[in-house]
């Protein structure tokens, strides 16, 4: 049992952490793509990065063109961008500060130090030569925070809310990436085995940190169907939708056990997860990948709302 407000803070703390990390990965993939392309396609690439990150409107209010340095600085540190990595890391810390008495000292110190480091790194505009360092630092901080939690936190509701927040965000992020890039799959989806624009897909895989994992599991080249399968249904891949939901289920089960009761959110969760388990990739594609993703994103959102309501995050 804990304060609803604190559960909310913990939940969002890990959502922001996950989002910051995924945004950094997204930037990394975009940067690699743009490097190999001509000016025009590179602008397209940055547009797609900004869109995936859900910052398009805010960005276009500020900038007319999609040059790399503008784009990544906007994503990383622009004060006019409420979703910037910097403000997400700040949000992580603010939330952690609010629940300072519920998390281990180790976790708090890791978060606080990470915040200090990222803040320093992003205190001035990021040049091309620094981008790699900055992205690495953000990814490393996220890993450290997760490690500190894993190693030092009691497995109570605090831990479970943290994990649930993180995985809901992760599922959301992976689905978003797929949503922006799904059209790339379209021309080839109909004829099975058609090969894809390898560099494009490599980039998508990279942005979820799954390029090597995919190759390891699928010895052949990138193929549309197996790729969709990998990102959506593969329970071995830690950033797939099915994996995230598996984790959410187990953490929600822990909560139900600790509290001695299930909530509406549990029912909703079972629905979504069953759908994920019952579907095959073929069915998803027949149903329409885009439709599926839209449906999933809204389910995911509904689940988050249900959890917030059932556990009294806010009044």
Partner 1 sequence: MAAAETDKTNQTGLRAFAEEASRRIDLAREPYDDAKLRKPPLRRFLSEFNYMLEPIKRARAKPDIRPAASPKRVMLIPGFGAHPWRMRYMAQQLERAGHRVKRWGMGYNFGPSPEVFDKLERRLEKVFERKGEQLHLVGWSLGGIYARELAKRHPDKVAKVVTLGSPFSGDPRNNNLCAQPADRGRCPCQATGRDGRAVEPGRRDRPCQLRARPTRRARPRGGAALLAYGVLLREGFDRGDRCRTRRRAARARRRMSEFFDEMRMPEGEVREAYADYDKWFWQQDASWLRKKAKEAEGVFRKTGITFNVYGEDAAEERLIPFDMVPRIIAAREWRSLEKGIEQRVRALNAFMHDIYHKQEILRAGIMPERLIRDNDAFLPEMVGFNPPGGIYTHIVGTDLVRTGPDEFFVLEDNARTPSGVSYMLENRETMMAMFPELFTRVGVRPVQDYPRRLARSLAACAPERCEGRPKLGVLTPGIYNSAFYEHAFLADQMGAELVEGSDLRVVDGKIAMRTTRGWRAVDVLYRRVDDEFLDPLTFNPDSMLGAAGIMDVYRSGGITIANAPGTGIADDKAIYSYMPEIVEFYTGEKPKLKNVETWRCSDEDSLKYVLDNLAELVVKEVHGSGGYGMLIGPAASKKELREFRAKLETNPQGYIAQPTLSLSTVPILTRQGLAPRHVDLRPYVLVSPDKIDLVPGGLTRVALKQGSLVVNSSQGGGTKDTWVLDD
Say whether residue 101 binds partner 1 (CB under 8 A): yes
- Which listed range, 22-30, 70-78, 96-104, 210-218, lies at the site for partner 1 (CB under 8 A)? 96-104
DSSP state, 65? S
Interactions with partner 1, residue window 264-283 (CB under 8 A): none
Q: Which is nearer to partner 1, 4 or 147 (CB)?
A: 4
How far apart (Å, rounded) are the C-alpha atoms in residues 45 and 30? 6
Beta partners for residue 195, in sequence order: 223
179: number of Cβ within 10 Å? 18
Say whether residue 79 binds partner 1 (CB under 8 A): no
- φ, ψ dihedrals at 284, nearest 5°: -60, -45
- φ, ψ dihedrals at 223, nearest 5°: -130, 140
Q: Please report how close the Cβ of residue 167 comes to partner 1 at its closest, in angstroms.
A: 18
- Residue whose pair of structure tokens reads 């169907």 in the numeric block: 225
- Which listed range, 5-13, 49-57, 216-224, 237-245, lies at the site for partner 1 (CB under 8 A)? 5-13
The pattern of x and - marking residues 151 through 190 that bind partner 1 according to CB under 8 A reads: ------x---x-----------------------------
Say whether residue 119 binds partner 1 (CB under 8 A): no
The pattern of x and - marking residues 220 through 259 that bind partner 1 according to CB under 8 A reads: ---------------------------------------x
Which of 74, 108, 292, 296 is close enough to bind partner 1 by CB under 8 A?
108
> Which residue pairs, CB below 8 angstroms and at least 24 apart, start in 227-230?
227/185, 227/196, 227/201, 228/178, 228/185, 228/281, 228/284, 228/285, 228/289, 229/281
Give the DSSP H/E element, type plus range, for residue 37.
none
The tokens for 220 are: 């052949």
Nearest to residue 302, comparing CAs of 111, 195, 171, 178?
171
Q: Which is nearer to partner 1, 41 or 123 (CB)?
A: 123
DSSP state, 104? -
Q: Which is nearer to partner 1, 7 or 228 (CB)?
A: 7
The tokens for 80 are: 């006019």
Taking phi first (over 0 means left), then psi (-120 to 50 degrees means alpha), and beta for anything else, what does residue 254 get? alpha
The pattern of x and - marking residues 45 through 74 that bind partner 1 according to CB under 8 A reads: ------------------------------
Would you give the distance in Å from CA 283 to the centre of its chain? 25
- Which listed range, 104-112, 178-186, 236-244, 284-292, lies at the site for partner 1 (CB under 8 A)? 104-112
Q: Which is nearer to partner 1, 161 or 214 (CB)?
A: 161
- Which listed range, 80-88, 92-100, 282-290, 298-306, lies at the site for partner 1 (CB under 8 A)? 92-100
Say whether residue 14 binds partner 1 (CB under 8 A): no
- φ, ψ dihedrals at 195, nearest 5°: -85, 155
Q: Which residues bind partner 1 (CB under 8 A)?
A: 1-7, 94, 97-98, 100-102, 105, 108-109, 112-113, 116, 157, 161, 259, 311-312, 315
């Amino acid at each position: 049992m804990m304060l609803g407000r604190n559960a909310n803070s913990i939940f969002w703390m890990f959502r922001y952490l996950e989002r910051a990390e995924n945004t950094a990965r997204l930037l990394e993939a975009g940067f690699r793509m743009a490097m190999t392309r001509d000016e025009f396609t590179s602008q397209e690439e940055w547009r797609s990065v900004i869109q995936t990150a859900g910052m398009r409107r805010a960005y276009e209010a500020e900038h007319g063109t999609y040059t790399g340095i503008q784009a990544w600085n906007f994503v990383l540190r622009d004060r006019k961008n409420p979703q910037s990595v910097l403000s997400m890391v700040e949000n992580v810390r603010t939330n952690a500060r609010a629940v300072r008495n519920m998390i281990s000292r180790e976790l708090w110190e890791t978060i606080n130090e990470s915040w200090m480091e990222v803040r320093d790194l992003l205190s001035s505009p990021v040049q091309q030569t620094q981008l790699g360092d900055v992205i690495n630092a953000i990814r490393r901080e996220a890993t450290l925070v997760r490690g500190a939690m894993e190693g030092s936190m009691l497995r109570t509701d605090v831990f479970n809310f943290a994990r649930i927040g993180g995985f809901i965000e992760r599922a959301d992020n992976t689905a978003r990436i797929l949503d922006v890039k799904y059209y790339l799959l379209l021309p080839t989806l109909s004829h099975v085995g058609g090969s894809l624009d390898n560099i494009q897909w490599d980039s998508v895989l990279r942005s979820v940190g799954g390029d090597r994992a995919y190759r390891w599991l699928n010895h052949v080249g990138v193929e549309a169907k197996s790729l969709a399968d990998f990102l959506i249904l593969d329970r071995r891949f830690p950033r797939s939708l099915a994996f995230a939901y598996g984790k959410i289920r187990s953490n929600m089960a822990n909560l139900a056990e600790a509290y001695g009761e299930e909530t509406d959110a549990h029912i909703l969760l079972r629905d979504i997860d069953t759908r994920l388990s019952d579907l095959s990739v073929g069915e998803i594609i027949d149903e329409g990948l885009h439709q599926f993703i839209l449906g999933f994103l809204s389910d995911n959102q509904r689940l988050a709302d249900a959890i917030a309501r059932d556990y009294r995050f806010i009044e």
